[in-house]
Amino acid sequence: MKITNELIEKHGLKLEEYSKIKELLKREPNLLELGIFSAMWNEHCSYKSSKIHLKNLPTKNNYVIQGPGENAGVIDIGDNDAIVFKIESHNHPSFIEPYQGASTGVGGILRDVFTMGARPIALLNSIHFGSPKNKKTRNLLHGVVSGIGGYGNCIGIPTVAGETKFNDTYNENILVNAMAVGHAKKDKIFYSKAKGLNKSVVYVGSKTGRDGIHGASMASAEFDEKSEEKKPTVQVGDPFTEKLLLEACLELMKDNSIISIQDMGAAGLTSSSVEMAFKGGLGIEIDLSKVPCREDNMSPYEMMLSESQERMLIILEDGKEKNAKKIFEKWDLDFVVIGKTTNTNQLTLKFRQNIVADIPIDALSSKAPVYDRKWTKIKVPEKKISLKNLKKVKFDESLIQILSSPNQSNKSWITDQYDQMVMCDTIQKSGSDAAIVRIHNKDKAIAVTVDSSANYSKSHPITGGKQIVCESRRNLISVGAKPIAITNCLNFGNPENPKIMGEFAETIIGIKEACEFLDYPVVSGNVSFYNGTNQKNIYPTPVIGGVGLIKKINNPINSFFQQENNPVLLIGKTFGHLFQSIFFEEIYSIKDGPPPEINLINEKNNGDIVLKLINDGLILSAHDISAGGLIVALAEMTFGSSCGIKINKPKKLANIFEYFFGEDQGRYVLEVRQDDITKVLKILKDNNIYNETVGLTQKNTFELPGELKININELYNANNKWYYNY
Residues acting as catalytic residues: 44, 90
Contact present, 41 and 365 (Cβ < 8 Å): no
How many residues would you count in the chain?
A: 726
Identify which of 377, 335, 668 has the alpha carbon closest to the alpha carbon of residue 509. 377
SS3 for 498? helix
Question: Could you tell me the CA-to-CA distances from 395 to 53, 258, 582, 705 in Å, in that order?
Answer: 44, 63, 14, 11
Q: How far apart are CA 114 and CA 84, in angstroms?
A: 8
Amino acid at 60: K
Identify which of 521, 720, 493, 466 has the alpha carbon closest to the alpha carbon of residue 73. 521
| Separation of CA 87 from chain center | 4
Identify which of 397, 717, 388 has the alpha carbon closest to the alpha carbon of residue 586. 397
Q: How far apart are CA 462 and CA 468, in angstroms?
A: 10
Q: How far apart are CA 388 and CA 385, in angstroms?
A: 9
Secondary structure, 3-state, 94-136: HHHCHHHHHHHHHHHHHHHHHCCCCEEEEEEEEEEECCCCCCC
SS3 for 59? coil
| Separation of CA 28 from chain center | 40
Contact present, 434 and 478 (Cβ < 8 Å): yes
Contact present, 645 and 698 (Cβ < 8 Å): yes
Report which secondary-structure segment, H or E, holds 247: helix 239-252
Question: Could you tell me the CA-to-CA distances from 84 to 116, 189, 437, 668, 703 in Å, in that order?
Answer: 8, 9, 14, 29, 44
Torsion of CA 155, 158, 161, 165, to 10 degrees: 30
Q: How far apart are CA 97 and CA 232, in angstroms?
A: 10
Strand partners, 213: none
SS3 for 57? coil
Contacts of 610 (CB under 8 A, 6+ apart): 477, 478, 571, 619, 622, 668, 670
